[in-house]
Amino acid sequence: MNLLKDIQTPQQVDTTIKEYIEDFECSALRESMRHGEAYYRNKNTEIMERKMLIYTEDEDSGAPIEMEDPYKANNKLPSGFLKILVDQKVNYSLGNPITVESNNTDLFDLVVGKRFETNLKQIAKEASKKAIGWAHVYIDEAGAFKIMKVPSEQVIPVYNTYNDEKLEMVIRYYSVQTQDAQGKKVMVNRVEVWDETTVTYYQESTETGTYYLLSEEDMHNIFNIVYTNPKYHFEKKIAYGSTTQREGVSWSMIPFIPLYNNDEELTDLNPVKNYIDVYDIVESDFANNFEDFQDMYWILKGYNGESVAQFLSQVKRYKTLNVSDEGDARAEKIDVPYQARMAELDNLETKIYNFGMGFNPNQLGDGNITNVVIKSRFANLDLKASQFEQEVHDFIEKLIEFVNFYVEMSGLGQPVELEDVVFNRSILVNESELLDSNSKQKGVISEETRLSNHPWVDNVEDEMERMEEEKEANLENIQDLNLGPQEEGEGDEPGQEV
């Protein structure tokens, strides 16, 4: 149900759209999306927006004045922890192809296409950075099923009052370039309002800032084809004899699928933002200290010069100073507390990986680390990945509803019934240890079981076929080495090799 359909006047539509957008823009979720995107792109807002301030007094009123110090170093060294944590989790769970087990896996793979794995990783990254990722499903002009990632900050979901999992409407808004009355290029918002049947397009006026319904002429200019407004979700071509017509079709559900980062709807930045901010400040101030204290401090007592500038000139030119009988001049150097800062940075790094539930490669250690140690280092990441993989499972379950609609509409076969989603996690291993353990199991367990746990074997059946072929080839080579027929009974003695 499109909640805007019940509104009668353009003024009411305009007001309603503005309220939805303004409420979303001011929400805590939208703010966390901004931070998540910034920190992922190594533009950490806390350090990048920091100013070095000094305080003085107004000459007339004596009131305190805050101003930026133009002489103090202000290096900005944002860390890239969030990108590491996000990419680590997504590639850990989705770096290797997942297996969607169903009654007809081949049909599912055929419908979603070869780019499904890539699309899923993109949406997963979006969810990790912004708490929720959105996929838009549609049918392209060629009639193919498509999945598209939509930036999370463009989507405003409206849920049923009594069922917070049922979408009643989705408002998508984004900026487009147009011309005002004077022909000047300006940016305005375009709004798409999606319900279970149609999508309605509105655009922000360049003159009044109000939202108006796009005309059929506007729709033609946007899509290069005649569309009414509102329009159906997609169109398919219907042949009537020698003529072909386009017919509007609806999904009968809103074609937007959410992928939540976790059941708390938090970003991967939320647990570690404060620690990352402190890390950035400590490291940036470390650089500031080197820059601010790179010259010596001079302590002058009884200096006979007229100014500090004259003093610096005399030191540089003559390497001598004139001071009074009781005067003195000496240089002092401030030591930067290196060890304390490095200890604090190490402490913060450990907390970021611990609270961010990631794997810290700097703590893996050197030498021959056992797989038990490696597994313990991955314990937090395993917990986070398990929770995230459940969200991916729910996402695919919802996606299959659209796949089955497409299958039925296209007459491709029976509906796809999801059985399970198998994730092939990417984990570091001590390969030498695994190979040694695996070789010791030869003859103890079945060859198929042993090969299925071999780190170099991807397909057990193929490997067993190759082993059989090599065995047969070796037997042929042994037979070729026989120089002639043997005497009767030769080589038959117990323990004698032929």
Q: Which three-class secondary structure state does DSSP give residue 110?
A: helix
Residue 239: the pLDDT is 64
420-450: per-residue pLDDT in tens? 999 988 775 544 545 556 666 677 678 777 7
pTM score > 0.95 for this model? no
CB burial string 19-47: b at 16+ within 10 A, e below: ebbeebeeeeeeebbebbbbbbeeebebb
Cα 96 to chain center, whole Å? 16
Q: Which three-class secondary structure state does DSSP give residue 349?
A: helix
> In this structure, what DSSP letter does residue 334 have?
P
pLDDT grade for 311, boundaries at 50, 70 and 90: low
Section 372-392 average pLDDT: 87
Q: Which three-class secondary structure state does DSSP give residue 200?
A: strand
**Which of the pair, 161 or 271, is modelled with greater confidence?**
271
50-64, 237-251, 270-284 — most confident range: 270-284
76-132: per-residue pLDDT in tens? 999 999 999 999 999 999 998 999 999 999 999 999 999 999 999 999 999 999 999
65-69, 276-280, 282-286, 490-494 — most confident range: 276-280
pLDDT > 90: percent of the chain: 48
**Which of the pair, 224 or 324, is modelled with greater confidence?**
224
* Mean pLDDT lowest among 214-218, 388-392, 491-495: 491-495
Q: Is it the case that residue 14 has pLDDT exceeding 60?
A: yes
Residue 307: the pLDDT is 67
**Which of the pair, 258 or 183, is modelled with greater confidence?**
258
Section 474-497 average pLDDT: 58
- Residue 173 corresponds to which tokens in the numbers above? 């808004």
Which H/E stretch holds residue 463?
helix 460-481
How many residues does this entry show for the chain?
Answer: 498
Contact 440, 453 (CB under 8 A): no
- Residue 160 corresponds to which tokens in the numbers above? 């049923």
Q: What is the residue type of 297?
A: Y
Q: How far apart are CA 480 and CA 473, in angstroms?
A: 11
The average confidence (pLDDT) of the chain is: 83
Q: What is the residue type of 128?
A: S
Residue 164: the pLDDT is 80
181-213: per-residue pLDDT in tens? 888 999 999 999 999 999 999 999 988 889 999
Q: Is it the case that residue 148 has pLDDT exceeding 80?
A: yes
Domain residue limits, the chain: 3-44+79-268+386-422, 273-369, 431-481
283 HSE (CA, 13 A, CB side) = 18
Q: How far apart are CA 230 and CA 412, in angstroms?
A: 30
pLDDT grade for 497, boundaries at 50, 70 and 90: very low
Residue 498: the pLDDT is 37
Which H/E stretch holds residue 169?
strand 167-179
- Residue 112 corresponds to which tokens in the numbers above? 């979603």
Q: Is it the case that residue 145 has pLDDT exceeding 60?
A: yes
Q: Is it the case that residue 337 has pLDDT exceeding 80?
A: no
Q: How far apart are CA 269 and CA 151, in angstroms?
A: 17
Q: Is it the case that residue 71 has pLDDT exceeding 80?
A: no
26-65: per-residue pLDDT in tens? 999 999 999 999 999 999 999 999 988 877 777 677 677 8
